[in-house]
């Protein structure tokens, strides 16, 4: 096959989301939560059986609000787009951890700022925010779930029912967006993924 | 049997559920619900064990109130109210709409359900489902694509550490649990 017409570039590390990888941020996220009692977490989707069971087995109560699908439905509405963020109506300080996954890659700057503000409010003091971001829009631009496997291995599964725009950001934009949080760790992987672990400022868990 | 006392098995069954199905003969567990033969030969039908019986609330039926039952229940219509059938399965079919509290052995959702589910066994949420509420069950399965907003709490054996605590292999945090998290209803926040 002519490499110029190949579906993927020749360099294996150029396209994100083509292979599974072991997530250091996920490991840190769950190990930190393990030190706390009565943990509550929120997953913003997409809905994924493996991820639900992974967290439901480890925390007292695991919440799921599939914002990918909600954003999709608002986008598909013909009679005026609604506000997908109205679904994030949890009271302040509800969660010890929020899994954003790569949701911000599908939000414009205004939407992303609103989401980050909501997450900040919904987290308890010292609560953790797990964020994954792509360096660039993948090709083909199919949205994929990161599926948790053994030993914090994240595999990928296509979600063909989701068609959302892409707004991949540079590090500086991302860190500016999350300026209210303290950054705990960040990693960049060969597959083009970046992982971030943020913490809501505070001395003790309230 | 929808709250009615159980009849002897050799007596001709007449349940509220079958009334709602327009008095059609009860399908066997393996038969398609709408597949009724044009002219069935009059043959004695073996009575299935009581725990295999199933009542279907049809698409054109609306119910408001409380249901207690000793057989499996499928909702294809709409229902508002609580369901209590801890030894039997509860299903919301693709066209079903349920609002209320459900207590059952296993729960399967392919339609809409808004409320709380307490299942002794498993809760299944298919990709066609629209679920909004809280789930407490031994296990749960959710298909990709399900429209889902809710909380999941897995039933744990008493006196057993959580997987987190076991994985950590050490003492839990010295931080005292705060009152905010001992008030699940306050944190739950589903309007």
Give the least confident one: A91-95, A109-113, A199-203, B25-29.
B25-29
CB-CB neighbors (< 8 A) of B151 in chain A: 61-64
pLDDT of residue A137: 87
CB contact under 8 A, A47 and B145: yes
Token output for B130: 């629209």
Task: Give per-residue pLDDT as tens, A30-81.
Answer: 999 999 999 999 999 999 999 999 999 999 999 999 999 999 999 998 777 7
Residue of B nearest to A31 (CA): B168
Task: State how far the Cα of B136 lies from the Cα of B143, in Å rounded to an integer.
Answer: 17
Let me know: does A61 contact B153? Beta carbons within 8 Å.
Answer: yes
pLDDT score for B51? 52
CB contact (8 A) between residue A205 and residue B189:
no
SS3 B75: strand
Reported ipTM: 0.88
Interface contacts A/B by beta carbons within 8 Å: 109
In 3D space, the residue among B130, B128, B155, B129 whose CA is nearest the CA of residue B140 turns out to be B155
pLDDT in tens, A121-165: 999 999 999 999 998 888 888 999 999 999 999 998 999 999 999
Residue ranges of the domains in chain B? 16-24+50-168
Contact (CB<8Å) B175/A63: no
How close is the nearest chain B Cα to the Cα of A57, in Å? 6
pLDDT at A92: 97
CA dist B143 and A145 (Å) reads 12
b/e sequence B38-67, b meaning 16+ C-beta within 10 Å: eeeeeeeeeeeeeeebbbbbbeebebeeeb
Contact predicate A57/B137, CB 8 Å:
no
Q: Where are the domains of chain A?
A: 3-199
* Cβ-defined contact of B146 to A59 (cutoff 8 Å): no
Which residues in chain A are closer than 8 Å to B152, comparing Cβ atoms?
52, 56, 61-64
What's residue A162's pLDDT? 95
Give the integer Cα–Cα distance in Å for A45 and A42. Answer: 9
Q: Give the DSSP H or E segment for B98.
A: strand B97-104
Do the Cβ atoms of B145 and A36 come within 8 Å? no
Taking the Cβ of residue A56 and every Cβ of chain B, the question of whether any pair is shorter than 8 Å is answered with yes
Contacts of B145 in chain A (CB under 8 A): 47, 69, 159, 161
Cβ contact A62–B151 (<8 Å): yes
Report the share of chain B in percent with pLDDT over 70.
54
Q: Is the pLDDT of residue A188 over 80?
A: yes
Nearest CB to A59; choose among B140, B164, B191? B164
Each residue's pLDDT tens digit, B36-70: 344 444 444 444 445 568 999 999 999 999 999 99
Chain A's closest residue to B179, CA to CA, is A206
Q: How confident is the model at residue B173 (pLDDT cuts 50, 70, 90)?
A: very low
Domain A3-199, CATH homologous superfamily name and number: Vaccinia Virus protein VP39 (3.40.50.150)
């Amino acid at each position: 096959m002519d490499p110029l017409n190949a579906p993927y570039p020749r360099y294996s590390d150029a396209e994100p989301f083509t292979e599974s990888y072991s997530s250091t941020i996920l490991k840190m996220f769950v190990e930190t939560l393990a030190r706390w009692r009565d943990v509550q977490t929120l997953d913003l989707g997409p809905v994924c059986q493996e991820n639900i069971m992974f967290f439901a087995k480890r925390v007292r109560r695991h919440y799921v609000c599939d914002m990918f699908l909600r954003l999709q439905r608002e986008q598909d509405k013909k009679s005026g787009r609604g506000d997908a963020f109205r679904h994030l109506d949890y009271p302040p300080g509800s969660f010890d951890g929020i899994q954003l996954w790569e949701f911000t890659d599908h939000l414009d700057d205004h939407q992303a700022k609103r989401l980050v503000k909501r997450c900040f409010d919904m987290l308890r003091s010292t609560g953790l925010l797990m964020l994954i971001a792509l360096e660039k829009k993948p090709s083909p631009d199919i949205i994929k779930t990161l599926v948790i496997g053994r030993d914090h291995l994240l595999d990928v599964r296509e979600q063909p029912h989701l068609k959302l725009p892409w707004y991949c950001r540079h590090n500086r934009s991302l860190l500016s967006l999350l300026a209210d949080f303290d950054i705990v760790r960040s990693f960049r992987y060969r597959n083009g993924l970046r992982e971030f672990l943020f913490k809501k400022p505070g001395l003790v868990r309230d | 049997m929808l709250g009615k006392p159980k009849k002897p098995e050799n007596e001709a069954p007449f349940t509220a559920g079958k009334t709602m199905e327009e008095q059609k003969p009860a399908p066997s567990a393996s038969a398609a619900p709408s597949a009724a033969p044009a002219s069935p030969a009059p043959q004695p039908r073996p009575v299935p064990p009581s725990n295999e019986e199933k009542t279907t609330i049809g698409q054109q039926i609306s119910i408001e109130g409380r249901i207690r039952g000793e057989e499996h229940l499928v909702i294809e219509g709409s229902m508002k109210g609580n369901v209590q059938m801890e030894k039997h399965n509860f299903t919301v079919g693709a066209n079903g709409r349920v609002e209320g509290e459900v207590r059952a052995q296993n729960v399967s959702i392919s339609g809409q359900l808004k409320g709380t589910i307490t299942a002794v066994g498993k809760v299944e949420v298919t990709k066609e489902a629209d679920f909004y509420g809280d789930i407490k069950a031994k296990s749960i399965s959710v298909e990709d694509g399900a429209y889902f907003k809710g909380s999941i709490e897995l039933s744990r054996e008493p006196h057993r550490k959580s997987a987190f605590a076991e994985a950590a292999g050490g003492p839990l945090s010295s931080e005292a649990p705060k009152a905010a998290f001992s008030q699940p209803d306050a944190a739950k926040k589903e309007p």
